[in-house]
């Protein structure tokens, strides 16, 4: 059966991780893989998560399957996190939600739901977008189209180009948007721009499909959720895929959720039934451990405050690194403006280097990033900022 299957190359980003691991250079720096790291280079277990886990393990008396929609309390947590506890869509019973195996599971579950509702539907994705959006959505049978988003020459959001393209999107199509901390460019919509996109969606009749993977890593939990909250209030239908990998540090636990806003409570109930049916055919029951930790933290005022404080520290560290890198580059590359790095949000930015220059950084300095020069700012630490900026200066000088 399998003799016709060729061996595939390593995933580009995972391949970088392997190359970094095997590099003996003590000065090596990994700016490739998109996970948060602290100053020691570790992806930390948050103190609030540690405490919630200790409480869970003490109280847990069964390993039976969780409910099909997920661990009790986790859906309430994700709905309040995504939309705010007083949101009118929640008050009206317009939101259906289920727990999923990470944000990836939420995206794929959404794709399968869309396919049921409208076979072969079109989803418009930004240029650029997270690379895994393409296989997660496309392999479900959806047609993918692109709209302009990032101007690589100006290192800024191409909002005019984006709006001109979206003004041509037909009714019933979906538009994939990043809630905050755009992956891979770090350039986000402002509140005013979110309002304009919402107005256009209302006029054109397209459905927003929002990937919220980094809530709390940009400007804060509420500010980063402005887009989904505003759209859910103003529009009849919105899909929101949520990941807890970043803001709760639950990467390996694969904790996420999909929330779907319907036109009314009856539509939400119908969607909920469909979500459970689709999930049954994909993975049957969702994993419980990570979602149980989210639910436990959200239910405890003490743990919630501790978690929010830790999340604020992580966000502040990333911004400090952005500003430090800009300052160091200003000194080492005085003829080039890298100020956009400090203006962007989240973990990612494009440096604007060529593939050959990226290769030189890896081969000569053991600095690892993707070929398009996207860096994970959280992979830096303050002790390495000057080393990285000097290396960038050297490759730019040729």
- Kindly list the catalytic residues: 130, 211, 246
Alpha-carbon distance 153 to 145, whole Å?
A: 22
Interatomic CA distance for residues 229 and 16, integer angstroms = 36
How far is 107 from 239, CA to CA, in rounded Å?
Answer: 10
The answer for 12, left when phi > 0, alpha when psi is -120 to 50, beta otherwise, is alpha
Structure tokens that stand for 291 in this block: 């979602």
DSSP 163-223: HHHHTTPPTT-EEEEESSS-TTT-----HHHHHHHHHHHHHHT-EEEEEES-TTSSS-HHH
127 burial class (0-12, 13-18, 19+ CB within 10 angstroms)?
middle
Q: Are 52 and 296 in contact (CB under 8 A)?
A: yes
Per-state percent for the chain, helix, strand, coil, to nearest 5: 50, 15, 40
DSSP 8-class letter at 398: -
Closest C-alpha to 246, from 81, 40, 71: 81
């Amino acid at each position: 059966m399998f003799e016709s299957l060729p061996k595939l190359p390593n995933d580009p980003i995972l391949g970088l991780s392997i190359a970094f691991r095997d590099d003996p250079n003590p000065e090596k720096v990994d700016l490739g893989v998109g996970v948060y790291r602290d100053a020691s280079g570790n992806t930390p277990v948050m103190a609030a998560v540690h405490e919630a886990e200790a409480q869970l393990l003490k109280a847990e008396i069964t390993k039976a399957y969780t409910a099909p929609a997920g661990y009790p309390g986790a859906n309430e947590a994700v709905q309040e996190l995504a939309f705010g506890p007083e949101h009118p869509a929640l008050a009206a019973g317009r939101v259906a939600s289920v727990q999923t195996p990470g944000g990836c599971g939420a995206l794929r579950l959404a794709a399968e739901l869309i396919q049921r509702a409208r076979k072969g539907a079109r989803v418009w994705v930004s240029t650029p977008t997270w690379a895994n959006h393409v296989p997660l959505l496309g392999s479900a049978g959806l047609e993918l189209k692109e709209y302009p988003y990032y101007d690589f020459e100006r290192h800024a959001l191409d909002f005019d180009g984006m709006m001109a393209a979206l003004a041509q999107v037909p009714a019933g199509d979906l538009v994939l948007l990043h809630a905050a901390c755009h992956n891979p460019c770090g350039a986000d919509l402002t509140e005013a721009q979110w309002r304009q996109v919402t107005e256009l969606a209302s006029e054109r009749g397209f459905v927003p499909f929002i990937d919220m993977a980094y809530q709390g890593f940009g400007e804060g939990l509420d500010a980063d959720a402005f887009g989904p909250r505003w759209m859910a209030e103003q529009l009849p239908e919105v899909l929101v895929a949520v990941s807890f990998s970043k803001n709760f540090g639950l990467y390996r636990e694969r904790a996420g959720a999909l929330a779907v806003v319907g036109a009314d409570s009856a539509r939400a109930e119908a969607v909920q039934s469909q979500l459970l049916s689709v999930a049954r055919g994909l993975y049957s029951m969702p994993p419980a451990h990570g979602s149980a930790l989210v639910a436990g933290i959200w239910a405890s005022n003490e743990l919630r405050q501790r978690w929010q404080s830790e999340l604020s520290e992580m966000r502040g560290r990333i911004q400090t690194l952005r500003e430090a890198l800009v300052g160091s580059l200003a000194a080492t590359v005085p003829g080039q403006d890298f100020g956009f790095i400090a203006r962007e949000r989240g973990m990612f930015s494009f440096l604007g280097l060529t593939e050959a220059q990226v290769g030189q950084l890896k081969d000569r300095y053991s600095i690892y990033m993707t070929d398009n020069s996207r860096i994970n700012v959280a992979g830096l630490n303050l002790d390495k900022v000057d080393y990285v900026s000097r290396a960038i200066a050297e490759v730019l000088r040729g």
